[in-house]
Amino acid sequence: MAYVESLLHKCTSFPHIQQLHAHLLITGLFHLHISRSKFLDFCATSVNLPYAAAVFRSVPLPLTNDWNAIIRGHAQSHHPINAVTCYLSMSRAPCKPDALTCSFFLKACARALARIESLQMHSQVLKSGFDADVLLQTTLLDVYAKCGDLDNSCKLFDEMSKRDIASWNALISGLAQGNRPYEALKLFNRMREGGNDGRGLMTPNEVTVLGALSACSQLGAIKEGDKVYEYIRKSFLDDNVIVCNAVIDMYAKCGAVEKAYTVFQGMNCSKSIITWNTMIMGFAMDGNGVKALQLFNRMAWPMPDGVTYLAALCACNHTGLVDEGVRLFELMDKNGVSKNVKHYGSVVDLLGRAGRLDEAYKIIESMPMFPDVVLWQTLLGASKTYGNVEMAEKASRKLVEMGSSTCGDFVLLSNVYAAHERWNDVGRVRDAMKTRDVKKVPGFSYTEMNGAIYQFFNGDKSHPLWREIYAKLEEIGFRIREFGYEAETNYVLHDIGHEEKENALSHHSEKLAVAFGLISTDENSPINVNKNLRICGDCHAVIKLISKLYNREIIVRDRTRFHRFKEGSCSCRDYW
């Protein structure tokens, strides 16, 4: 065994492997199953999988370790699903799978996102009595998490007799990536506080905190993010550049861009290109284009790449630096940085926001690659902003040709028609939505309060304090009308009365979240709200007034950027 291993380590090329194969056959060592399986495993995972498979097929009666070597090789290959096929062949062979076979099979399922096959393997694991194997249970948990079957992940985690660090990490990461960030944070806190329920005392590591930071980013939960970062510093995990990048990203996405910049400046480890890109994008999302471009211009090493230019273009986009953005777009060619569809999309958005719709249209028409749906949606959105019916119809026709059935496309076109009171056309668009069975994505917002996350939908009355929230909204409505506010009813599509339109607008999810914040926090606390869609113009106008009349800082993160409302103005300067 040691002899074969020493020869394998000396193989530095494929001809060496062929020579070793010949040597093993001549000496008879190939017929010793330990030597043979070692050789197959080395070939399948490190050298040449097709050659290993060909050698395997020449074995008259392969044993379990031989099968394991080939299944493992397929599991690590570009086509992991082939491991499933190989396992099915093994199940018809005389030899039986062992715990390692199941583990390699499940790793293939995780990479191929093969949920049904992993469920079948789970049954096999139980039948074979392998369920006491902690490593195997952890692998199975990881498969469920990666396939999005979080209920089974949680169930398996709760049933495990013993847990290692990997099982905690798999579930925390799975919950964070599976749109269940609040549960991910709860599990992280449980682990950090001991997690000792008789099944293993674990300490969070780099992988754990990455999952927790991702959850904080999704929720905009800055207080929880502070706690995670405090743990990172106390545990000396901030020497890891990947962790530092995630902390910067978390703070930026929670609206605390200055905290993000403090972490950026104070890093003990070397900054990577991802570090610079994350910080530049953080300033861009916060509407601070000047700082973003200053940071971009400071870059000497590493050199800006395509992602860096995209972040800088986004900064110009959110700040209205149109000429500077066009200059950066042209600079990419001079510096040998390839443009992709996202760069074109960003400059189209930049021109569209500035009302330069004809230029934006020409950019799309001149692209060397085929324009994607997002580009036409961007032009449609700009057409809606400037009430350009002709351009909106052009973009809409392109989207129909491309087979797009996104709700937002129809809503934007309807908005354009509604703003011009073309109700027949609005009706025609609505009929088209029904014909295509297009469902409107519901708007929702959520806010963090005393460590808990509260979610609101438009017109929501599910909160225990909904009566107090609606009473606060009535008070807000009264005060802002005294201040001269008039509802921007062109944001409501229905051909209904003005009063009904006002009622529809006043119960938008972000207004409910802000009202809840006003009744639930002290007068000096900022209110943080996250929204899944773009904030509407009426909500933007109302929250500006609330920030002035109630003397509160309100931070709203919509799907593209932050809006920081203070003293009656917004950080976006009404340019979004």
The domain spanning residue 213 has which CATH number?
Answer: 1.25.40
The total domain count for the chain is: 2
pLDDT-derived band at 488, boundaries 50, 70, 90? low
N-terminal to C-terminal alpha carbon distance within the chain: 67
Range of the domain at 515: 445-450+458-570
Measured in whole angstroms, the distance separating CA 352 from the mean position of its chain's CA atoms is 26
Residue 118 clears pLDDT 90, i.e. is over it: no
Position 559 in a domain: yes
Q: Where does a domain end: 245, 271, 297? A: 271
Q: Where does a domain end: 271, 293, 312? A: 271
Q: In this structure, which long-range contacts are made by residues 266-273, counting pairs with CB atoms below 8 Å and at least 24 apart in sequence?
A: 267/238, 267/241, 268/238, 268/239, 269/238, 269/239, 269/240, 269/241, 269/244, 270/241, 271/241, 272/241, 272/245, 272/302, 273/302, 273/305, 273/307, 273/308
Q: What is the pLDDT of residue 5?
A: 66
Position 178 in a domain: yes
Asked whether 233 and 209 are in contact (CB, 8 A), the reply is: no
Asked whether 173 and 211 are in contact (CB, 8 A), the reply is: yes
Which phi and psi (to 5°) does residue 83 adopt?
Answer: -65, -35
CA distance 234 to 303: 32
Position 70 in a domain: no
**What is the three-class DSSP state of 189?**
helix
Position 208 in a domain: yes
Buried b / exposed e over 303-319, threshold 16 CB at 10 Å, is: ebeebbbbbbbbbbbbb
Position 105 in a domain: no
Which of 7, 42, 34 is CA-nearest to residue 23?
Answer: 7
Asked whether 59 and 95 are in contact (CB, 8 A), the reply is: no
Position 335 in a domain: no
pLDDT digits 0-9 by tens, 492-547:
544 444 444 555 667 899 999 999 999 998 888 889 998 988 888 889 999 999 99
pTM score: 0.72
Q: What is the pLDDT of residue 358?
A: 93
Q: Worst-scoring range by mean pLDDT, 152-156, 177-181, 200-204, 307-311?
A: 200-204
Which of 191, 203, 125, 198 is CA-nearest to residue 162?
Answer: 198
Asked whether 359 and 352 are in contact (CB, 8 A), the reply is: no
Q: Where does a domain end: 271, 287, 306? A: 271
Position 184 in a domain: yes
Position 360 in a domain: no
Tell me what the pLDDT averaged over the chain comes to: 85
CA distance 444 to 512: 10
More confident residue, 92 or 3: 92
One-letter amino acid at 29 equals L
